[in-house]
Amino acid sequence: MSPTPSPCARTAATAAATREKENGGPQAVNNMGPQSQRRLTLKERTHQMKGNTNKKKKKGGQQALFGEVAFDPEKDCEVCKARLWGRSVHRSHHELCTNNRNKRGQSVATLSLEKEEKRLKVLFSTPLTEAEKCSGQHLTKEATEAYFKPREGVKKIVTTINTTSTTTTVTAQSIATGSQNVKTRVTANDLHSAATERVKDPNFVKSHEKSTAPLAMLALAKTVVERIINKKEINNQNYFNGLTLTVPPARNFVEPECHSLVGQKLLNVDWKMMYGIDISCLRCGRGVMENKRTNFSHNQVLFPIFEIDGPPLWCMVRSLKCPCCHWRVDANDSEILCALPAYARNAYPVETKCALDKRNCHLGRSAAAVMDLLMPTCGNGDLCCRLFCNAINRAHLQRVEDCHSSYKTKKKEGATIKHVEKDGSFTRNYPPLGDALRDAYDAAASCKNTWNQ
């Protein structure tokens, strides 16, 4: 007598028979075609690609623009929260709640803009009275003289130019032009030859091997400080256009370091030397800010400004200190820029909202204009970073082409010369990454130091 199978065994046998029947018999499993195998694989992949419904939601709910938690009326407004639970609270709604009749959930800035818009609408719609038309009430003789009175710093500059040189245009290319006083003029060949000698000096290379600025740019800055800025008898405005000195070309040099310098810009951010402006202390209001050492004279470093159309601009930034309250600040800080007149402030190629303190670099006006278009729509900081890197790469390719073509013209045919490498020589300080650019844009958007305030 055979033993009776258990219920589990009968269930397993029934399942096996069902599978054999579906697959066409016992031999169909071994003879399964590639189409059926692909179908089974597709089913497994489809199962793996299903959304995970057990995924935990992000804590904190919806976030605002700058990372803080967004306002929720049911949680943050006492009146709405009480109504949700059937209670009655006799008080006004929260300022950010949409049920608030006065502010309607709008910020203070939005309400002030609406108020100003209404005021301007009434002002522009009201016609002028006869007394206001062509009125000369404020057109006095004293006001006219005060408006057309020449500034002190500009007057000194014009007098020096007319007495020491025959050149009347003040541009960076005036370095390469001739002058009657040859002994006191620094030409483009002088700058390039001095910079080339410093680059080839082993002691100079060793002392600046950890600097983030290019070695050729540091050599040029040292030459400019020694031969132009420290020489009081030479007028700086013959070489600088505002604050900027653009390196002119030198056709007699074939060294790759000279070609890497052509077209680059060096800024001397010193308002008292370049414009004759004395800045009052913005903290105590009693003292006048005194000039201290620059970042180049103190640490032999240059401050970069990244632009969207070429290599970064390098700045020698003066440090300012108040003798009364001992407040120290850099000359390119946003607070100092807002305190300057427009003709001096515009010489520094950075918007005041982007001139943030305690930063390793600034973003130029062209870069800020591009970021103002890209950031609010998609917040793509990585794209802006690629634009900066692409600008540096294109500038380096142009310098390499100029270097090789000039060398072939000056030297024998078939001769070669090694150009300046991009990484480590042409540029050592790279643009900020996408996250850093996004943080800089958020900080600039909330900065209160703007020129119209």
What is the per-residue DSSP string for 245-263? EEPPP-TT---HHHHHHTT
pLDDT of the residue at 178: 41
Residue located via tokens 């006083």: 181
What is the per-residue DSSP string for 127-171? PPPTTTTT--SS--HHHHHHHHPPPHHHHHHHHHHHHH-S-----
Beta-bridged to residue 313, according to DSSP, are: 305
Q: φ and ψ at 351, to 5 degrees?
A: -70, 150
pLDDT of the residue at 105: 72
pLDDT of the residue at 211: 81
Structure token digits, residue 444 = 């600039």
pLDDT of the residue at 164: 36
What is this structure's pTM?
0.56
Low-confidence residues in the chain, pLDDT < 70: 1-67, 135, 151-184, 232-237, 251, 253-254, 378-379, 404, 407-419, 424-426, 451-453
pLDDT of the residue at 29: 47
pLDDT of the residue at 55: 52
Angle between helices 381-410 and 434-445 (to 10 degrees): 110
pLDDT of the residue at 120: 92
| Other CB atoms within 10 A of residue 157 CB | 19
pLDDT tens digits, one per residue of 271-296: 998 888 889 998 888 889 999 999 88
